[in-house]
Amino acid sequence: MEKQLEAAVHSRKTAIPRHWPLLLVLALLLLGVPLFTGSYVTGLFVLMGIYVIAATGMTLIMGYGGIVTLCQAAFWGMGAYTSGILTASYDVSPLAALLAGIVLTGGVAALLGLITLNLHGHLLSLATLGFGIVVNIFLLEESELTGGPSGLVGIPEFNLFGLTLASDKQWFYLVWLAAFLVILLVRNLVNSSWGRTLKAVHASAAAAEAMGVHVGRYRWQAFIISAVLASLSGSLYAHYMTFISPELFSFEQSIRYVLMAVVGGLASVWGGLIGVIVVTVLTELLREVIPLLLSESSAGAAETIFFGGLLVVMMIFMPQGMAGGLNKLWDRIKDGRNA
């Protein structure tokens, strides 16, 4: 891990991803999805795209910042609720509401970061966990504002400069465009000098500090960016679903984001994308398979046990996640060809 991180700190990457032909093929395949499938499959992909944005934020803070945050769902919810409340109750345009959500969530993350980022390791994770629970209680209890446990109804559809997104197809293209822009942005960010410093901080905070790097500040900035991405994703989610309730933004969802980031791979910006795909596909498969093997009502519990086990196995045998594994495979293929 350290060696790899060291290599990552020193490697220089071009603005265009190394595997661009592969990516191009995948992108073309993806573009075809809504043309050949109905609103069900397209809808699944829209949700995946939305999750990818928040999971990429998670990859940034966990993989590059080296902090396990357990409040991604709370930031996700803040974005969703800001968009929802402003558009449903105050007739603000969805785009403005989305930006307001980003500003609010970024601001709250900045404050939270100021207070907590000097904590280390588990303590920091616990602080974010507590924050996530506080946000959830706020959403439940401030029913005048948030609709309380009944949820927030009547969120209008998203419109962009007068164009209303009504069909799943339109949503699909918007969401995946946003997801790829986010991934590219994060990619270029972690390859910039800022990103290299962040990675150095992760590899060894003491060494970085000795070199005169303000360790706290870099983590703080990564934390804010990750929260902003969650907020963006949450706003899109609110407009897509048109109904949100506090239950969606609970601790369990935060854990799901951790799972997606870890399974996908923490040492790659593509980790979030891969994690979301793997988790979604596995969930669908498990739901088909488990009822055949066990009783129907045990499906939910079995799924949780499976994902918990998967997380442990991934950590032991594939700490780089799927993205790391794929990278290795790619290198091996290339080496084989060159030899």
Partner 1 sequence: MNKKSWGAMLLSAAMAISLAACGGTGGSTGSGSSENVSASSAGGAGEWKIGAVLELTGKASVWGIPQRDAIQMAVEEINAKGGIGGKKLNLIVYDNESNETNSLVAAKKLVSQDEVLAVIGAGTTPTTMPLIPYMMKEEVPLISVGSGDEIVLPVEDRKWVFKTPSNNADISTSIVQFLKRQGKSKVAFISVNNAYGDSGKKTFEMIAKANGIEIVAAEKFGAADKDMKPQLTRIKSLNPEAVIVWAIPPAASIVNRNFWELKMDSMLIYSAGAGANAFIELAGEAAEGTYIASGKVWVADQLPDSDPQKQILMDYVKAYEEKYKTQPSPIDGMAYDAALLLAEAIGQAAEKGDVTRAAIRDGLENVKNLVGLTGIFNTSPDNHQGLKADDVVMLQVKDGKWVLAQ
Residues 54-93: x where in contact with partner 1 by CB under 8 A, - otherwise, as a string: ------------x-x-x-----------------------
Using CB under 8 A as the binding rule, whether residue 241 contacts partner 1 is answered as: yes
CB of 21 to partner 1, least distance (A): 29
Residues β-bridged to residue 235 = none
Distance CA 234, CA 72 (A): 10
CB of 94 to partner 1, least distance (A): 15
Distance CA 273, CA 304 (A): 21
Out of 52, 97, 236, 255, the residue judged to bind partner 1 by CB under 8 A: 255
Integer CA distances (angstroms), 169 to 25, 159, 174, 183, in order: 20, 14, 9, 21
Out of 140, 178, 189, 318, the residue judged to bind partner 1 by CB under 8 A: 140
Q: What DSSP string describes 195-218?
A: HHHHHHHHH-HHHHHHTT--HHHH
Using CB under 8 A as the binding rule, whether residue 259 contacts partner 1 is answered as: yes
CB of 332 to partner 1, least distance (A): 24
Distance CA 107, CA 101 (A): 10
Using CB under 8 A as the binding rule, whether residue 4 contacts partner 1 is answered as: no
> Residue 276 in contact with residue 260, Cβ under 8 Å?
yes
Using CB under 8 A as the binding rule, whether residue 209 contacts partner 1 is answered as: no
Out of 88, 258, 269, 273, the residue judged to bind partner 1 by CB under 8 A: 258
CB of 54 to partner 1, least distance (A): 13
Using CB under 8 A as the binding rule, whether residue 11 contacts partner 1 is answered as: no
DSSP H or E segment with residue 163: strand 163-164
> Residue 149 in contact with residue 232, Cβ under 8 Å?
no
Out of 60, 139, 279, 322, the residue judged to bind partner 1 by CB under 8 A: 279
